[in-house]
Structure 1
Amino acid sequence: MPFKTIVAIIQSHDDAERVLDCAISFAERFNSHVIGVHAEALPVAYTSAVGFPDTEFIQVASEANKERAKSLAALFSSRMNTAGRPFEWRSHECYSGDSAHSGIASARCADLVIAAQRDPDAEPTATADIDALLFESGRPVLVVPHAGPSHSSYRRVVVAWNGSREAARAAFDALPMITRADHTEIFVIDPPDDLDQNMEASGAEIAAALARHGARVTVTGKASSGRSIDQVLQEQIAATGADLLVLGAYSHSWLRQLLFGGVTRTVLQSMPIATFISR
């Protein structure tokens, strides 16, 4: 199923252009409708020296928030009009000011959500909480790297595979991209010794299933040899020249090691290519 409805999470000017580059590229490829979502924080009522709410501060903060939201809406509309794609803009106010939290309802009715990877050098409020989207929306999330290309042809795909429900969900959610790719590699870290007895975990069965959809698929296994899972993944990405990683979020074997406490640390902070995550 192609991605006909895309939600683009626009948290700030720091991530807006990268998210829009990616969202427009997808919209052109799949003839998609794009919904931009942005949230501003409700001003906190600080107390003045005489014990009353500082209404002047609240007013100044509120005006600044409105101007920022207006500026981002104008940027979004301009980019979408130039691309000639149908779109909507949804602006919210909430206590957290996090566009991911405010965008969950919109995301649940979309085929794909696009959000920016957290930039470790940016202000904490400059990027959205992607964990919230993964946990609460029930939809796949494409994470745009904070460094490197903001969009790509996604011609070489690596699917991290361990036979889990989450890995299967991610592989099939990513089918519109996998079937268009020049090559997809099912990548198994520490594959089982007896591949005939454990076809599911070995990747052979998912490779055959994807191939029936017309995907060009191979299976590769590699021993971790004491290295962390994220290190092995990044090495394989570099070795293959992959431009998309497909990953199931939270499973019950080695992927748990990567994603429990590692989603933010690795995939959402330092993975060098676009990462398609489902849960």
Structure 2
Amino acid sequence: MTFKTIFMAVDTAAPDAEIDRAVAICERAGAHLSLLVIGVAPPPPASPYGVVSNDIWAGEIRDGQTDAQARGAAIEARLAGGPVPVSVEAQYIDRGTVATLAGRFARYADLTLVPPGGDVQSPVLDGALFESGRPVLLLPEGETSFPAPQSVMIAWDASVEASKAVRDSICVMKTAGKVDAVLIDPVPSFDGHGPEPGADLATYLGRHGIATDVHRLPKEGKDIGELLRRVAADLGSDLIVMGGFGHSRLRERIFGGATTSMVRTRSVAVLMAH
């Protein structure tokens, strides 16, 4: 997959530096930046008898809409004539709608950038990862070399999600100097890893011209996310490729353990797919 359209959503308080980092990534990828500026509307006031009309709340909504549009216009003006083509849209919506809107935008992009922190990034990740069919890139604090990492680590568990993440990052791994596949407590099986865990993955990537070193490691009771970060540091990896797991419960996305760990603590960029 090549990245021709890259999507990122930010709240109205997002620093310019985070937007500039997205522009730099798009410039290196030769991609268009689709930027969504989100203002989060407060819930309507309520009483024991149900929702009631409130002039103050209505005024807050009007002010919020104005602020979101103004922030979007300011960003668009600042990036006009810059190194990459940029489209900016501003929306003022309730928090429950953020994931749905992010999923819609992500479906028309090749990759979604998810910066750390920010008021809207959790629902943005939910929508982009689970409702778009496209990969997301969890950005670490500070700079990243993406889309031209020097060393890539694949967190391989033979799942459909991990397979999709690998496929979506083929173009990135082709330019990397080193690719490592890390398997935690792999078990030979008929329908998963096969008789020799990691061998089929290495063969597949080899046909794309990507040499892969396979590492089979014991979990030893450690948190998988923390173990993956430690191994990535030992290998000198500046990008982790992995599947993203979760399920929906009462419309609230519940992330799997390793996914949650990687989302919360980002020492390197993580390309994730579901």
TM-score between the two structures when normalised by the length of structure 1 = 0.81
Distance 1:116 1:39 in 2: 14
Residue type at the aligned position of 2:11: Q
Gaps of 5+ in 1: 252-258
- Asked whether 1:249 is paired with 2:244, we answer yes
Offset at residue 201 of structure 1 (A): 6.7
Partners of 1:80 and 1:208 in 2: how far apart? 45
Query: What is the rounded CA distance, in whole Å, between the counterparts of 1:98 and 1:270 in structure 2?
Result: 26
More strand by share: 2
Computed over aligned residues only, the root mean square deviation of the Cα atoms, in angstroms, reads 2.9
What is the Cα deviation at residue 149 of structure 1? 2.6
- Residues 73 and 243 of structure 1: is their aligned pair in 2 closer, same or farther, counting only changes over 3 Å? farther
For 1:236, the equivalent position in structure 2 comes to 231
1:10 alignment partner, SS class? strand
Aligned to 1:110: 109
Residue deviations 1:62-108, cap 9 Å, x none? 3144224422442255236322x112112223221765432211211
Query: CA 1:81–1:211 in structure 2 vs 1: closer, same or farther (change >3 Å)?
Result: farther
> Residue 186 of structure 1 aligns to a residue in which SS?
strand
Q: CA deviation at 1:202?
A: 1.4
1:22-68 per-residue CA deviation (whole Å, 9 max, x = no partner) reads x32332233212111122234544379xx973314431453144224
In structure 2, the residue matched to 1:93 is 92
Q: Is the 8 A contact 2:181 2:198 kept in 1?
A: yes
Query: Following TM superposition, by how much is the alpha carbon of 1:233 offset from its aligned partner in structure 2, in angstroms?
Result: 0.4
The 8 Å contact of residues 151 and 238 in structure 2, kept in 1 or not, is answered as yes
> Structure 1 residues 34, 97: CA separation in 2 closer, same or farther (over 3 Å shift)?
farther
Q: Give the residue type in structure 1 aligned to 2:214.
A: V
The equivalent residue for 1:222 is 217
Checking the alignment, whether the CA contact within 8 Å between 2:188 and 2:194 is kept in structure 1 is no
Structure 1 residues 165 and 19, CA, compared in 2 at 3 Å: closer, same or farther? farther
* Corresponding position: 1:181 with 2:181: no
**Partner Cα separation in structure 2 for residue 58 and residue 93 of structure 1:** 13
Q: Which moved more, 1:126-135 or 1:175-184?
A: 126-135
Give yes or no for the alignment of 1:260 onto 2:256.
yes
Indicate the residue corresponding to 2:133 in structure 1.
138
Distance 1:263 1:29, change over 3 A: same
Q: Percent identity?
A: 25
Q: Of 258, 264, 269, which residue of structure 1 is paired with 2:264?
A: 269
Aligned to 1:230, the other structure's residue is in SS state helix
Number of residue pairs aligned between Structure 1 and Structure 2: 260
Normalising by structure 2, we get a TM-score of 0.82
TM-superposed CA distance for 1:15, in Å, is: 5.9
Matched AA of 2:220: S
Alignment of 1:210 with 2:205, yes or no, is yes
| C-alpha contact 1:179 1:216 (8 A) present in aligned 2 | no
* Offset at residue 128 of structure 1 (A): 4.0
Equivalent pair of 2:111/2:135 in contact (CA under 8 Å) = yes
Q: Which letter does structure 1 place at the counterpart of 2:259? A: V
Asked if 1:278 is matched to 2:245, the reply is no
Matched to 1:149, the amino acid is E
Unaligned residue ranges in structure 2 (runs of 5+): 247-254
Task: Check the 8 A contact 1:115/1:143 in 2, yes or no.
Answer: yes
Shift of the 200–155 alpha-carbon distance from structure 1 to 2, 3 Å rule, reads farther
